[in-house]
Amino acid sequence: MGISVLVVVAAMILPPISQSPDYHQFADQRSFLGIPNFNDVISNLAFLFSGSAGLVFLWQVYRTPAQTTFHEIKECLPYGVLFLSVAAAAFGSMYYHWTPDIDHLMWDRLPIVIGIAALLSATLVDRISLAVGQWTLPLLLVLAVFSVLHWYWTELKGAGNLNFYILMQFYSILLIVWISLYFPSRYTHGSDVYQVIALYALAKLAEMLDGPIFVWTDGWLSGHTLKHLIAAYAAYRIVQILRKRALVG
């Protein structure tokens, strides 16, 4: 708790990190069938698939009283928010990549950070307690939304500040890893969460190598398009983990 407070204070007092004006200049800007930035737009369908698969699975769990994926049906809530945000990310990211600019970027980032906040809440439910996870979920969601709106508001003021958005995204992931290391899961396959984190890290690396990957693949695939596909698969891995897990003992 003390470290978290220090991290928040650091985000408040450190010099603001602004959005690079070149951020919207993606490597693959080809149009096809009247769709601008075709690959970066269409690749977001992978998020719709993963999010929908998760929501369908949760509905099946809700309809099956004898299911063993969740000890209590209330544990589904953060996963419901997570998979809904993954599905929403498909539309938010399509909207952004159709016309990449600051105004559209806000709708891309909102579902991403909401999904990460929901995964942190799900981790707390699994490894700490249902009560803690339920209590923190609305707080984490408010903080997630605030981090994006704060960044967007500062952009409109002419002095963009990504500090809280970066904090909410990456510190939440660090907390998920830390909690997973020190608190055992009540379910089997708990260590598979590291695969999800590794895939997300790989997606971020592909994003940073957008141009080089586009060159290396001879214009077949850009790093940003690859990022969408890897991140969507990371979300689908969560669905796979939930399908096969069971209560320990």
How far is residue 190's CA from residue 201's CA, in Å, rounded to a whole number? 19
Helix axes 193-208, 223-244, angle to 10 degrees: 170
In a domain, 179, yes or no: yes
In a domain, 90, yes or no: yes
Q: Which residue is associated with the tokens 């698939």?
A: 49
Q: What is the pLDDT of residue 7?
A: 60
Residue 247: pLDDT band by 50, 70, 90 thresholds? confident
**What CATH number does the domain containing 115 carry?**
1.20.1070.10
DSSP state of 32: B
In a domain, 142, yes or no: yes
Lowest model confidence (mean pLDDT) among 40-49, 88-97, 127-136: 127-136
In a domain, 117, yes or no: yes
In a domain, 8, yes or no: no
pLDDT digits (tens, 9 = 90+) for 190-213: 899 999 999 999 999 999 999 999
Contact 124, 179 (CB under 8 A): yes
In a domain, 25, yes or no: no
The CB density around residue 101, as the number of other CB atoms within 10 Å, is 10
The residue range of the domain holding 167 is 36-244
In a domain, 12, yes or no: no
Rg of the chain's alpha carbons, rounded to an integer?
Answer: 18
In a domain, 2, yes or no: no
Residues 6+ apart with CB under 8 A from 187: 126, 245, 246, 247, 248
Q: SS3 for 106-161, per residue?
A: HHHHHHHHHHHHHHHHHHHHHHCCHHHHHHHHHHHHHHHHHHHHHHHHHHHCCCCC
Number of structural domains the chain divides into? 1
pLDDT digits (tens, 9 = 90+) for 134-187: 999 999 999 999 999 999 999 988 888 888 898 899 899 999 999 999 999 999
